[in-house]
Amino acid sequence: MIRIIDYKAGNAPSVMSSVRHLGFNAEYARSAQELSDATCVILPGVGSAKATMESLKAMNILTQLEKAVLKEKVLFLGVCVGMQILFEHSEEEKTEGLGWFKGRVVKFDPAKVRVPQMGWNKVKFIKNTPVPTEDVNNAHFYYVNSYHAVVDDSADLWGVSDYNGELTACVQRDNIYAIQFHAEISGEIGLKLIKNFLDTGVKIC
């Protein structure tokens, strides 16, 4: 079962709508119990890193999530803030993240760029993973973010964009995928990437 984690501040409905539109069966996970049958987990995100961490803690879902993703290697996709909290630390309200990826999340400098970054930006996929990206490489995806991730290990970088300098667009390690942009509202290209991701899960599971 594909499980989409639903916490109040996230945009789980948009993610659910795109996944179901692609013809996949998916259900929300609002508790640890509902995560236990997951063969694929999507963690959507909008809003702040701190609020997201607090919501996940309040749902008592984190232990089960880490068991599934880190031990059982269930396929995982984090989106936007759902990617940012995978890092060790976010500058946003000094929030400790899950630390699945080494690195930190920092704010764009408003003296240099408009903040938030809002709109369509080109994503260049720079490493081969089991999720194919040939048909979406160098296409535009929709971003909304004031903070961005800086990876410690460049081997984790899956794709990059340019926003007054190189920007971490997405990261990947083993079964863990995470995207800063919102594929679920990036038009047909975004749907294609989600399909490529979910198809990979179907093959594995």
Q: Which residues contact other proteins by CB under 8 A?
A: 8-9, 11, 13-14, 17-18, 21, 46-48, 110, 114-122, 140, 142-146, 162-163, 182, 184-188, 190-191
Nearest CA-CA partner of 148 in 49, 57, 41, 10: 49
The DSSP code sequence of 140-175 is: EEEEEESEEEEES-GGGEEEEEESSSEEEEEEEETT
- Least separation, in Å, of the C-beta of 70 and other proteins? 27
40 catalytic residue (yes or no): no
Tell me how far apart the alpha carbons of residues 204 and 158 are, in angstroms, rounded to a whole number.
20
Q: Among the options 40, 148, 170, 182, which is catalytic? A: 182
205 catalytic residue (yes or no): no
CB-nearer residue toward other proteins: 143 or 177: 143
CB-nearer residue toward other proteins: 16 or 41: 16
CB-nearer residue toward other proteins: 69 or 77: 77
Tell me how far apart the alpha carbons of residues 134 and 138 are, in angstroms, rounded to a whole number.
9
Q: Among the options 80, 92, 148, 170, which is catalytic? A: 80
CB-nearer residue toward other proteins: 79 or 176: 79
- Least separation, in Å, of the C-beta of 18 and other proteins? 6
- Least separation, in Å, of the C-beta of 90 and other proteins? 14
Angle of helix 12-21 relative to helix 187-204, nearest 10 degrees, comes to 70
- Least separation, in Å, of the C-beta of 22 and other proteins? 10
88 catalytic residue (yes or no): no
Q: How far apart are the first and last CA of the chain?
A: 10
Residue 40: exposed, middle, or buried by beta-carbon count in 10 A (0-12, 13-18, 19+)? buried
- Least separation, in Å, of the C-beta of 173 and other proteins? 27
- φ/ψ bin of 189: left (φ > 0), alpha (ψ from -120 to 50), beta (otherwise): alpha
CB-nearer residue toward other proteins: 99 or 187: 187
Tell me how far apart the alpha carbons of residues 47 and 68 are, in angstroms, rounded to a whole number.
25
Q: Among the options 34, 92, 170, 184, which is catalytic? A: 184
Tell me how far apart the alpha carbons of residues 99 and 28 are, in angstroms, rounded to a whole number.
24
Catalytic residues: 80, 182, 184
